[in-house]
């Protein structure tokens, strides 16, 4: 039995020695391969190596930024990344800020369609109700003296007040209802791996949307009640009331086209200048829409 153990031990030792030799040979092979690679690249010029590295980097896909992300960039980053034309920036602004384009023509953003439509209807009804509030006794008396004829110059103060207040309400509703910026925050948190931050963002979205719908349902009922009473009592002023509402709502739709045109002009000038002194123009172009 001892002889058999000795023979098996010697056989196992020979196998282990063979494996050690194999690993040592493979290690030497790797060394020889590294030498061959070094010899291959030793004959190549630096320019050729730069071209090879450039081709490799070109194969790596570049990150694509959305219009919202480009609009939200800091000045130094915007100079490097924002290469859009004037028309593209202007259309991107209108798609998010203009009421009709944002509600009915911008379907690829991260905002809820139900929220968009409810906000649109609420702003129309709210504009009508605000025109009711600013119908004074003097304006009623002047309409009576003019035999119900509509005087636009006389109605300018009323239209102005209702337009300004409706815009303030719209800014407040945008603060409560827009969810696209929070979705982009969730994306960045996923990249960073910050799960706790994602839970906070989702909680913030829920709270804001709950407040938004409560606010809309309450004031929507109040607005309809005021409009129905006014139209029922002052039947002779209904035509003037409808005209004021159409004019004030049209102003709310037209003036953003002018404001955003100037804001985009300032943005283009600041980015093409590419100097630090143009940073004020860039910041001012970001503030102009006020929402």
Q: Rounded to whole angstroms, how far apart are CA atoms 271 and 83?
A: 9
- Please compute, for residue 5, the number of CA atoms within 13 A of its CA located in the half-sphere on the CB side: 2
Neighbours of 208 (CB within 10 A): 16
- Tens of pLDDT, residue by residue over 196-249, are 888 899 999 999 999 999 999 999 999 999 999 888 887 777 787 888 888 888
Residue 173 Cα to chain centre, angstroms: 16
Query: Residue 159 corresponds to which tokens in the numbers above?
Result: 């239209």
- Over residues 93-119, the pLDDT tens digits come to 888 888 899 999 888 788 889 999 999
pTM, two decimals, is 0.70
Q: What whole-number distance in Å separates Cα of residue 82 and Cα of residue 72? A: 10
Report the pLDDT value the prediction gives residue 205, as an integer from 0 to 100: 93
Q: How many helices (H) and strands (E) does the chain have?
A: 13, 0
Give per-residue pLDDT as tens, 45-71.
Answer: 444 545 545 555 444 456 677 888 888
- Residue 176 and residue 216: Cα distance in Å, rounded? 11
157-to-161, 168, 200, 243, 247 alpha-carbon distances in Å: 6, 17, 44, 14, 12
- Say if residues 263 and 93 touch (Cβ distance below 8 Å): yes
Q: What is the pLDDT of residues 140-169, one digit of tens each?
A: 656 666 655 666 676 777 778 888 888 889
pLDDT band at 139 (very low <50, low <70, confident <90, very high): low
């Amino acid at each position: 039995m001892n002889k058999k153990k000795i023979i098996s031990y010697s056989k196992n030792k020979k196998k282990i020695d063979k494996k050690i030799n194999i690993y040592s040979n493979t290690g030497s092979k790797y060394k020889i391969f590294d030498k061959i690679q070094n010899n291959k690249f030793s004959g190549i010029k630096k320019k050729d190596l730069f071209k090879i590295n450039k081709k490799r980097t070109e194969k790596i896909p570049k990150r694509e930024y959305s219009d919202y992300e480009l609009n939200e960039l800091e000045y130094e980053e915007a100079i490097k990344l924002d290469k859009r034309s004037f028309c593209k920036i202007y259309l991107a602004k209108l798609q998010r800020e203009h009421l009709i384009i944002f509600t009915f023509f911008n379907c690829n953003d991260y905002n809820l369609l139900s929220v968009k439509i409810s906000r649109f209807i609420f702003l129309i009804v709210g504009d009508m109700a605000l025109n009711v509030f600013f119908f004074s006794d003097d304006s009623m008396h002047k309409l009576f003296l003019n035999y119900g004829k509509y005087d636009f110059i006389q109605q300018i103060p009323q239209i102005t007040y209702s337009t300004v207040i409706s815009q303030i309400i719209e800014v407040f509703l945008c603060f409560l209802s827009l969810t696209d910026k929070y979705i982009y925050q969730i994306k960045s948190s996923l990249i960073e791996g910050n799960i706790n931050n994602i839970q906070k963002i989702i909680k913030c979205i829920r709270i804001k949307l709950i407040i938004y719908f409560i606010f809309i349902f309450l004031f929507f009922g109040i607005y309809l009640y005021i409009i129905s009473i006014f139209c029922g009592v002052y039947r002779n002023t209904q035509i003037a009331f409808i005209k004021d509402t159409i004019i004030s709502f049209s102003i709310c739709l037209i003036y953003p086209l002018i404001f955003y045109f100037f804001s985009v002009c300032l943005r283009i000038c600041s980015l093409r200048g590419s100097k630090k002194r143009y940073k004020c123009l860039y910041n001012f172009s970001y503030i102009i829409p006020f929402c």
